[in-house]
Structure 1
Amino acid sequence: MMGLCGLANFSARELRDKKVLREMSKRLQLPRELDIVSMERVACAAPDQKLGLLPDGLVAAIIGQPWWSDPELEHIAREQGEGDALGEAYRRYGTELLQRLHGAFAIAILDSRSGRAFAAVDRIGQEPLYYMAAKGGFVFGSSADSVRAHPSIDPSLSSQGIYNYIYSHMVPGPGTIYSGLHKLPGGCYVEYDGKQTCMRDYWEPPFDETNNVRLDVLGEQMRSLILQSVKRLTKGRTVGAFLSGGLDSSTLAGMLAELRPGNANTYSIGFSASGYDEMGYARTAARHFGTQQHEYYVTPEDVCAIVPEIARVYDEPFGNSSAVGVYYCAKLAANNGMEYLLAGDGGDELFAGNARYAKQQIFKYYGMVPLVLRSRLLEPLLFRLPAAVGVVRKAQSYVRQAMTPLPDRLEAYNFLQREGAQEMFQADFLATLVPEEPLLLQQKRYAKPQNASALNRMMYLDWQQTLADNDLRKVGRMCALAGVEVVYPLLDDPLIEFSCTVPSSLKLKGRRLRHFYKEAMADFLPLEIIRKEKHGFGLPFGLWMAEHVPLQELAYESILTLKKRPYFRPEFLDRAIELHRSEHTAYYGDLIWILMMLELWLQAHGH
């Protein structure tokens, strides 16, 4: 996995060639796998063709799958290297170069004359970038570990980061698990002027509800954009495709088969657990498009074998259990000789495919009841009734959620909301943080898009958190662990911008998720896949742990060790185990997983 890493905080004396810079990088004692190229003033990690060393003292580094909409810059990238193209773009346009740079990228430009630094990530944040101002300098990297390794960085953990992890099951940006270390959100750049850093947006989604083009015409435009993206990302590469049997993975499998008839490889994993196995849909898609299908069934033994390694390779705690399935699927592809995999992440967030979007529709009805009737009659009467009665309990839950504004309502079933922070965490720990921070961050992101519908605001929030901080980190890191690169055709800039022009009423029609997408793909995808419910690579951890003793031991031993740390109330940890044993095994299994992965991560990273 190629990374990006650097510093800009020492006096510059020489900028000769890449061999000299690599030799100097040894002084920084940063992780070898990052292939660091450094100098006393600046350090950058990137393949040679993605590092530009310009005669006027600029060092430009870029990683990812970038492309230029400026033909001249694209020519320089092709003939001289992407780093040289980036440096030239910066000389011509400054930070405005970001309006011409597209695809997945993280970039850094360091000026050895002025001591200034500039770094940015793509519009969604497909490539991560961490940064920190420390001891009069600017340290950055494509992983938290690479930045933390610098001797001037404070390696202490952030109480807020730990709390935010439990709330969100990952640490949402711009914060991190480390004190003072920041993540750069998608569509943003950061500048360092020799004294301090300043983060700014360079792109916001141009949502537009006025498009009256016919659905079939829009559908053709979308299909053409997806095919162009797949072509660009597969050209000259040994590439296969993840295939879960959902809309997006099936679409990409079909596009790959169209481009490589008879030679399109697809990879699927299954689980021998009722309600979790989607292999039948994957096989349907594979037959429909004539792909060469490869399959693997994940077992509880597989989970036990890989979980400690998953905890180790993530540079922040990560609690999405579906990482296990992604790893084994990617490993299947790597063992089959694949160098790249197409992943369908992003389709749900661009075209309204998440169930919570449709669920919000039912709360609109309550808002139609006159306020005076709600506040003076319905609510006082309802909340006087005994909650023990099933229908009353459901009615009370509905009204409580309807009374809660978006985006807060999306967290109605969050563990922290249901259990209460005071019941979960030790008082001294809570006193060091702001419990409202995760919700405040969501509120800020939800409000950010201009003139956007509630649906588009929810999707934009998911671009920033569900995608950038969760799904893309999950897939990217697991593919790297398995030894294969991953690309995301559905997150190409032209397709993102196109999605902003599709009216909300077409994306979600009534409560039909992805209405526009399904109509546009009706003659391309099998009918069974058009009609199927969304699932993916979800792991039946809670169910397996109830029966599989080694999994229980791994989880319970982790939680027992977690009791010794100054974060959680011991009685809460005991209760979490008891709730998993006695109540909803899947729901509380997720909680056990999140706690287990935190402890395993802390151990693996020496905390």
Structure 2
Amino acid sequence: MSLAASIRGDFVLAGGPGAADWASRLPGFECGSGADDAIVLATRGSVHLGGDATGKRWLALADLVESVPDDAAGDDPGAMRDWRGRFTHVAWHPAGGTVLATTDHFGSLPLYWYRRNENFAISTDLRLLLDAPAVRREVDLTAVYHYLNFAFIPAPSTICRDIHRIEPGTRLALDAATESTTRYYMPAYPADLEGSDDQLAGDLRERIIGTVRDFRPAADDGWGCFLSGGTDSSSIVTILARQPGAQVQTCSIGFHEAGYDELDFARKAGEACGAKPHLDHVDRTRALALLDAVIDAYDQPFGNTSAIPTLACAELGQSEGFSLMLGGDGGDEIFGGNQRYAKDKVLEAFYRLPAPLKAGARMAGKLVGKTNNHLLNRVGNFTQRGSQPNPDRFYTDDSFASDYYLRLLTPEFRSHVNRDASLEFMRSVYDAGDGGEPLHRIMRLDLMMAIAQNDLVKVHGACKHHGVSARFPYLDPDLVEYCGRLPARYKVRGLNKRYLFKKAMQGILPEEILRKRKQGFGLPTAIWLKNDRATQELMREILLDDRTRQRGWVEPTFVNKLVELHMAGAWDYSGAIWQLLVLELWMRKYMDGH
């Protein structure tokens, strides 16, 4: 049975005394029940339903690039290691009341669950469970703290204390009395491949081409590609465009602000392979208008500013008739393309210095770090960070609430959340996989957090909001496994990132694209907040009003100080201010007043 491009629906599977009555009142859902009403199923949109002779039933949202046998809903989660694509899968015996729920390798489609007072449920959208029987709308302040550090809430936590999210690559067994989880997938890095650079580059090239072609939708489907102008999206577009008879269409978003716009690179990548481009811009006015879409598109607070251009890009694809779009997400994390990988290599070398040398450098760093000189302050910051092991030093890129713990958070909030709560969470993820080379350990950390819980959340939320699906060829488990067998020197050679990938892509990508500096897909909020009075007024209107103050989480005087410091150019606090804004707006819409 093939499960393809059917990930735009929602479902709720529930059991317990109040399940049937509650599920029947979900707006827009079709509701049914099991043989003895032990399990109630409500669906909306396209959801696969199936069963077998033993009475087992299953449902799934899935976009798998290969067919799946009818008995794939078996009790062995390890069998799902070989599935390719995106999926959620839930199986149950109606009479027994036990549910097995499984997420794909990177949790790209979310599954939420709760169990309380003999009631339990699983759903594809957290908001659908907020009014479920016995669920209490109590905020998990540790989850809020994670959000203020990471800009997202990592699984298994959610904004609601009673509701949990199934982690990536995990199966949950759930009934009215018990629950347990089994992790069936974690990226591995044996780094056991040997060969010449040319041999391995050729092998990687063929594997990339084969994977991208496998993920190509059927010719008669309406589909296109995200194209930023970076190497990942550009390579996918080029490989697809080189297939006989192919006419690849692309969607790209630009900005008028210098330093943020990459449309020139997107044009060059598209022109080089004959792709048909669709281009659009996001300015300050449109970005603020899209704030409502950010709140609607994500079932938890999501503070990554690049959600705005991603929503605009998905909207552009939908307007061109696309039902599915391919993205390059994961390329940085499997090929070694993040700038901080090269930076961390330098920091790791400092960390491995003899203790007396590090102590002397730290002392010097503290002295020069007390000046007002930006360069000297960076020296002090380097010695401080380089003295920490990973993942602690990696965490310093995502530690805003930790850094300003005493000034940002109210005493009441701090009484519930330890300062190191988010760091401890990152340490647990870092330690979850096998050991390996230092670079590989942080690449796996990025796959499990930056990709699985940030980037994929961003793209899925934006696409689902506009009725579009997404595929991620570079997160194909087979390709990820192969890259894990390549030693770290093939990802970062010296300080050169993507060493083997760039060698593999010679002759496929234009040299200008291969040499371009990585830029990312950020929103120019830093410029708007510094220079635009309307943006400043919006931030203050929401973040400093009585309703926000009464929440009692953050100190309004410090928030006002952040805005003032940003406007003065002392530092870029726009990301933190944006996170606070999205958090407050999301809380007002979904958690307050019920």
TM > 0.5 between the two?
yes
- 1:360 to partner: Cα distance: 0.8
* 2:23 and 2:31 in contact (8 A); partners too: no
* CA deviation map 1:338-359 (0-9, x unaligned): 1111111110111111111110
Which 10-residue stretch deviates more, 541-550 or 587-596? 541-550
Please say if 1:103 is aligned against 2:85. Answer: yes
Bigger Cα displacement from structure 2, 42-51 vs 171-180: 42-51
Looking at structure 1, the residues matched to 358 and 76 of structure 2 have their Cα atoms a distance apart, in angstroms, of 55
1:582 aligns with 2:568: yes
Q: Is the 8 A contact 2:108 2:452 kept in 1?
A: yes
Q: Does 1:388 align with 2:371?
A: yes
Aligned to 1:113: 95
Does residue 536 (structure 1) correspond to residue 533 (structure 2)? The answer is no
Residue 563 of structure 1 aligns to a residue whose secondary structure is: helix
| 2:5 corresponds to | none
Aligned CA distance change for structure 1 residues 428 and 268 (closer, same or farther; 3 Å): same
> Which residue in the other structure is 2:12 paired with?
5
Output one character per residue of 1:246-272: Cα deviation in whole Å (capped at 9) or x when no partner.
011101111221236462111111100
Give the structure 1 partner of residue 387 of structure 2.
Answer: 403
Letter of the 1:41 counterpart: A
CA distance in 2, matches of 1:414, 1:101: 32
Pair 1:57 & 2:39 matched: no
Q: Report SS of the residue matched to 2:337.
A: coil
Partner of 2:25: 29
Structure 1 pair 327–193 and aligned structure 2 pair: CA distance change class (3 A): closer
Number of the residue aligned with 1:485: 469
Structure 2 runs not aligned, ≥5 long: 1-7
CA displacement at 1:95 relative to structure 2: 3.4
Check the 8 A contact 2:16/2:118 in 1, yes or no. Answer: yes
Q: Name the aligned partner's letter for residue 579 of structure 1.
A: L
Query: Counterparts of 2:433 and 2:398 in 1: how far apart (Å)?
Result: 25
- Once structures 1 and 2 are overlaid, which stretch shifts more, 100-109 or 438-447? 100-109
1:42 aligns with 2:39: yes
Structure 1 346/380 Cα, relative in aligned 2: closer, same or farther at 3 Å? Answer: closer
- Residue 585 (structure 2) aligns with: 600
Given candidates 591, 597, 607, the residue that maps to 2:576 is 591
Q: CA separation in 2, counterparts of 1:132 and 1:299? A: 41
Q: CA shift at 1:514, angstroms?
A: 1.0
2:369, 2:146 → 1: CA distance? 34
Structure 2 equivalent of residue 17 of structure 1 = none
Of 309, 312, 324, the match for 1:340 = 324
Q: Give the letter aligned to residue 218 of structure 2.
A: K
Question: How far does residue 499 in structure 1 lie from its aligned partner after superposition?
Answer: 1.4
Q: After TM superposition, list the pairs within 5 Å mapping 1:220-259 onto structure 2.
A: 220-233=202-215, 234-236=217-219, 237-259=221-243
Q: 1:248 to 1:313 in 2, by over 3 A?
A: same
Instruction: Give the Å deviation of 1:151.
Output: 2.4
Q: Return 5+ residue gaps in structure 1 as ranges.
A: 13-23, 69-73, 77-84
User: How far 1:464 moved relative to its partner?
Assistant: 1.5
Query: Displacement, 1:289?
Result: 0.5
The CA deviation string for residues 162-194 of structure 1, in whole angstroms up to 9 with x for no partner, is: 111111111111111110321111111111254
Confirm or deny that 1:476 pairs with 2:460.
yes
TM-score (norm 1): 0.89
Distance 2:161 2:491 in 1: 40
Using the aligned pairs only, state the percent identity: 27
Aligned residues: 577
| Counterpart selection for 2:138 from 156, 162, 167 | 156
Displacement, 1:28? 3.8
Rounded to whole Å, the distance in 1 between the matches of 2:386 and 2:509 is: 36
Q: Which residue of 2 aligns with 1:71?
A: none
Shift of 1:368: 4.6
Distance 1:265 1:420, change over 3 A: same
Residues 34-76 of structure 1: per-residue CA shift (max 9 Å, x gap):
66655432244376771113343322011121355xxxxx364
Q: Is the 8 A contact 1:317 1:597 kept in 2?
A: yes
Task: Check whether the contact 2:239–2:508 (CA below 8 A) recurs between aligned residues.
Answer: no
Q: Is the Cα–Cα contact under 8 Å of residues 23 and 40 in structure 2 kept in the other structure?
A: no
Q: Which residue of 1 aligns with 2:3?
A: none
| Correspondence 1:571 to 2:554 | no
Shift of 1:332: 1.3
- Assess if the C-alpha contact under 8 Å between 1:239 and 1:341 holds in 2: yes
Question: Structure 2: how far apart are the matches of 1:287 and 1:393?
Answer: 44
**What do the CA deviations read for 1:77-111 (whole angstroms, capped 9, x no partner)?**
xxxxxxxx2xx2334x5434324433211111112
Q: How does 1:355-434 map to 2 (within 5 A)?
A: 355-375=339-359, 377-380=360-363, 382-384=365-367, 387-388=370-371, 390=373, 392-414=376-398, 416=400, 419-434=403-418
* Structure 1 residues 441 and 25: alpha-carbon distance in aligned structure 2, compared to 1, 3 A threshold: same
Residue pair 2:408, 2:558 contacting (<8 A) in 1 also: yes
Structure 2 CA distance for aligned equivalents of residues 249 and 354 of structure 1: 15
Instruction: Name the structure 1 match of 2:199.
Output: 217
The alignment status of 1:89 with 2:55, answered yes or no, reads: no
Question: Any conservation in 1 of the 2:309–2:523 contact (CA below 8 Å)?
Answer: yes
Greater helix proportion: 1
AA matched with 1:603: R
Question: For residues 513 and 75 of structure 1, do their structure 2 counterparts lie closer, same or farther at Cα, with a shift above 3 Å needed?
Answer: closer
Who is 2:281 aligned against?
297
RMSD: 2.4
In 2 relative to 1, CA 31–153 (structure 1 residues): closer, same or farther, beyond 3 Å?
farther
The structure-2 alpha-carbon separation of the partners of 1:114 and 1:343, relative to structure 1 and needing over 3 Å to count, comes to same
Secondary structure at the residue paired with 2:551? coil
**AA in 2 matched with 1:349:** E
Cα pair 1:31 1:146 within 8 Å, conserved: no
Structure-1 separation of matches of 2:581 and 2:187: 37
Once residues 55 and 105 of structure 1 are traced to their aligned partners in structure 2, the CA distance between those partners, rounded to angstroms, is: 23
Alignment of 1:540-555 (within 5 A): 540-555=524-539
Counterpart among 321, 333, 336 of residue 349 in structure 1: 333
Amino acid at match of 1:58: K
What secondary structure does 1:360 align onto?
helix
One-letter code aligned to 1:552? Q
In 2, the alpha carbon distance for the partners of 1:65 and 1:567 equals 40
Cα distance in 2 for residues equivalent to 1:161 and 1:429: 12
Change (3 A) 1:46 1:490: farther
Counterpart CA distance in 2 for 1:152 and 1:256 is 50
Q: Distance in 1 between matches of 2:476 and 2:539?
A: 39
Measure how far apart 1:505 and its partner are. Answer: 0.8
Cα deviations by residue, 1:527-562 (Å, 9 ceiling, x for unpaired): 011011112321101202333333233222111232
Partner Cα separation in structure 2 for residue 314 and residue 590 of structure 1: 18
Q: Supply the distance in 2 between the matched residues of 1:171 and 1:418 (Cα, whole angstroms).
A: 15
Q: 1:114-165 CA deviation, whole Å, 9 max, x = no partner?
A: 2211111111111111112222243111121122232232222111111111
Contact 2:335 2:483 in 1 (8 A): yes
Cα separation, 1, equivalents of 2:508 and 2:556: 54
Distance 1:225 1:300 in 2: 41
Q: 2:497 aligns with which of 501, 505, 513?
A: 513
Mapped to 2, the partners of 1:313 and 1:469 lie a distance apart of: 15
Q: Does the 8 A contact of 2:223 with 2:324 survive in 1?
A: yes
Give me the TM-score of the superposition, normalised by structure 2. 0.91
Q: What residue number does 2:263 align with? A: 279
Secondary structure of the structure 2 residue equivalent to 1:89: coil
Q: Distance in 2 between matches of 1:393 and 1:547?
A: 26
Q: Is the 8 A contact 1:130 1:142 kept in 2?
A: yes
